[in-house]
Each structure stands twice: as C-alpha cells, then as structure tokens.
C-alpha cells in the first residue's frame, strides 16, 4: 500500500513567484482596460509580458478568468474599473464603492463574489450527472433504500441502483452520506476516478478535489481500494486521502467535512491557505493568498455562505488585509 498522496502542499519559492506574477497581471489588466490607458503604459505592459514565461502564464490566466464575467464587459466594465481606481485613491465610502461595482456588474453587493472560474473538465462531467449543485448551493436527497445524501457546493453525483449493488458516482465536489438499510443486502459503493469505497453501514463524507479523493468516516467503517489495487480500512473517527496510485496514512477525521451540512466551515489549527481554499468553494472569482501569510494558523467556525463576514472575522483576528484589484480578483495579504 503506497503513501504517495499529498494533502497540503507547502508554500515554495515557485509559489511566491507565481503569486507575484498573478498580482502584477491583475494590476496590468486594470490599467489597460481603463479609459485613460496611454501608449506608454501599453508599451510597458508588453515589456513586462516578454520578461518571462511566468508573466505570460499569469496574463493568460487572468484573461481566462476575466472571460467568465460578461456582465462587466457588457457595458459595466469601465464603470467597475473606474470604481476600483477611485478606491485605490482612497476616496471615501468603501462600501459605496463596492456597491457601485456590484451595480456595474448587474449584481447585488453579496452577489458579485458569487462567480467562480470553473475548470472545463469538471463542468463537462457535471453536465451528465443525475444530481448537481451550483456554487454556493447545497442539497439533500433521499435514495430509494432510504439512504440520505447531502451534496455540498459545486457537486455532481450520479446514482446507479441495480439488483446486485447500490452505486454512487461522484464526478466532482463533496457528499455526506448516511446509508440506509437495504432489505436485499446489496453492497453500497461510492466511486470516484481514483477508486472505490464500500460502506459497511455507516456515515461518511467523500470529497473529490482534483488530484485526489478525501474520505472521512464518522460512524462504522468504509473499505476503499484505489485504481492501483491498494486497499485500506477506515474506521469511525478516521480519515485518509487517496489517488489512483497511492493511499495516504490514516489520520483523525475532520469535523469540517461534516459541519458544512449546517452551513459552517470549521478551522481546527489549519493554515490560512487551507481555510481560504475551503471558503472559496462557496464563492466566486480568483482568490489568492500571499505566501507570507498563507501558513498562519487559524482556529474558529466561519459561515460558509457569508464570505464578507468570514473575511471580516479573519481580518479582526489575523494581521491580514483583503485587496480587490479587480471585481473578480481578491487577494489576502499581510497588513502593512
């Protein structure tokens, strides 16, 4: 049984460089799409773009993200950028400026953070699923055998109940399951692209995120096998992560993977980066954390569906500030 699964990547020099390039790209984007961008500024941007491949990648990323936000480009784009420039100059009424940006986008103040850049492969998989949730949406379903399934934000799930087995296929996102009693004695399986989990009369959560699947067991036992044939038994109060090639060591279960059903994001001595990543799943746009604060330790309970309140709580307890160089681009960085 392997242990080639990474659950929390460390901040590296490369990550810091990428972060700096992305922030510079956001600043250039705001400058070039303003009403007064000069020829000299455009030449300077071209020189910056040609300095390195990292700059070119960062610019391609910000263009890809910005293309998701047609409401800003269709009439309100210039007004939004004007609002950003006014905010940078320190004009009064920060909330009024933000409200103006929201109005320019045709959204409410709470709504203009409700966008998210979605990976195309995940979206394609979700289109064919039996049950789906949008970003920020949660849903509860009852299956034919009485099993209860809660779908978290941005989740795609298919159900395949047959004479010989009960099978759920999780294409993307996160589910919490309370298995029901089946009078026919059929086994209960959950599949992701990394492997299969068999529930032995239990309550558990499965989180499919990119390169791995995370399993948390809260009652009874789940047996898993990945695509390579590695096997692992996970008992109540335990968790693991796995991909097609390996299974990570057993660790204590995460309360956060059950608390989301109640609209809460729980941080139990985790890094700020991990917490922001979890909160961002309910929001939209690009949200990045500066490397110098990404490793700050956080404890607390935060509202999953009130991002502004969660950020205010963090700003009140940590030496950080939140910047928005673009309406869809948010940065968490060290407080000056």
Does residue 99 register a pLDDT over 70? no
Q: Where in the chain is the domain with CATH 3.55.50.30?
A: 259-334
pLDDT in tens, 12-70: 445 665 777 777 777 777 777 766 778 887 888 788 888 888 888 877 777 776 665 54
Question: Which CATH number applies to 120-257?
Answer: 2.60.120.1440
Buried b (16+ CB within 10 A) or exposed e, 153-181: bbbbbbbeeeeeebbbbbbbbbbbbebbe
Closest CA to 326 of 104, 10, 158, 118: 104
How far, in Å, CA of 125 to CA of 29, rounded? 32
If you average pLDDT over residues 200-227, what whole number do you get?
A: 94
What angle, 0 to 180 degrees and rounded to 10, lies between the N-to-C axes of helices 39-49 and 53-66? 120
Does residue 105 register a pLDDT over 60? no
DSSP 247: B
How far, in Å, CA of 240 to CA of 221, rounded? 12
How far, in Å, CA of 202 to CA of 156, rounded? 21
Question: Which CATH number applies to 259-334?
Answer: 3.55.50.30
Q: Where in the chain is the domain with CATH 2.60.120.1440?
A: 120-257
pLDDT in tens, 116-167: 333 444 455 556 789 999 888 999 999 999 999 999 999 999 999 999 999 9
Tokens standing for residue 117: 């850049």
Are 235 and 252 contacting, i.e. CB atoms less than 8 angstroms apart? no
Tokens standing for residue 144: 């034919």
Tokens standing for residue 301: 């309970």
Residue whose tokens read 């390195």: 52
pLDDT at 63: 72
User: Torsions phi, psi of 38, nearest 5?
Assistant: -95, 165
Beta bridge partners of 168: 159, 190
Q: What is the DSSP string of 46-101?
A: HHHHTS-HHHHHHHHHHHHHHTT-HHIIIIIHHHHHHHHHHHHTT-S-HHHHHHHH
CB atoms within 10 A of CB 38: 10
């Amino acid at each position: 049984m392997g242990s080639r699964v990474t659950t929390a990547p460390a901040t590296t020099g490369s990550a810091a460089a990428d972060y700096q390039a992305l922030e510079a790209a956001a600043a250039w984007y705001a400058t070039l799409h303003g009403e007064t961008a000069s020829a000299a500024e455009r030449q300077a941007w071209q020189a910056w773009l040609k300095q390195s491949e990292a700059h070119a990648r960062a610019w391609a990323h910000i263009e890809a993200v910005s293309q998701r936000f047609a409401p800003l480009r269709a009439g309100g784009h210039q007004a939004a950028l004007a609002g950003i420039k006014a905010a940078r100059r320190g004009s009064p009424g920060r909330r009024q400026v933000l409200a103006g940006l929201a109005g320019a986008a045709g959204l409410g103040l709470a709504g203009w953070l409700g966008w998210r850049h979605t990976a195309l492969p995940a979206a394609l998989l979700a289109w064919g699923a039996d049950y789906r949730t949008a970003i920020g949406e949660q849903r509860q379903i009852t299956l034919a055998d009485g099993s209860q399934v809660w779908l978290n934000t941005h989740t795609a799930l298919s159900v395949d109940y047959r004479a010989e087995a009960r099978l759920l296929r999780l294409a993307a996102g996160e589910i919490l399951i309370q298995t029901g009693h089946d009078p026919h004695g059929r086994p209960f399986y959950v599949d992701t692209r990394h492997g299969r989990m068999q529930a032995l009369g239990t309550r558990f959560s499965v989180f499919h995120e990119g390169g791995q699947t995370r399993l948390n067991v809260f009652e009874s036992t789940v047996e898993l096998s990945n695509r390579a044939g590695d096997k692992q038994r996970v008992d109540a109060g335990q968790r693991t992560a796995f991909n097609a090639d390996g299974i990570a060591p057993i660790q204590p279960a995460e309360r956060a993977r059950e608390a989301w059903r109640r609209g809460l994001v729980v941080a139990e001595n985790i890094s700020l980066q991990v917490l922001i990543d979890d909160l961002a799943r309910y929001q939209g746009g690009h949200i990045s954390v500066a490397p110098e604060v990404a490793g700050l330790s956080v404890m607390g309970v935060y509202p999953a569906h009130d991002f502004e309140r969660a950020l205010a709580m963090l700003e009140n307890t940590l030496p950080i500030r939140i910047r928005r160089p673009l309406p869809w681009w948010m940065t968490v960085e060290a407080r000056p």
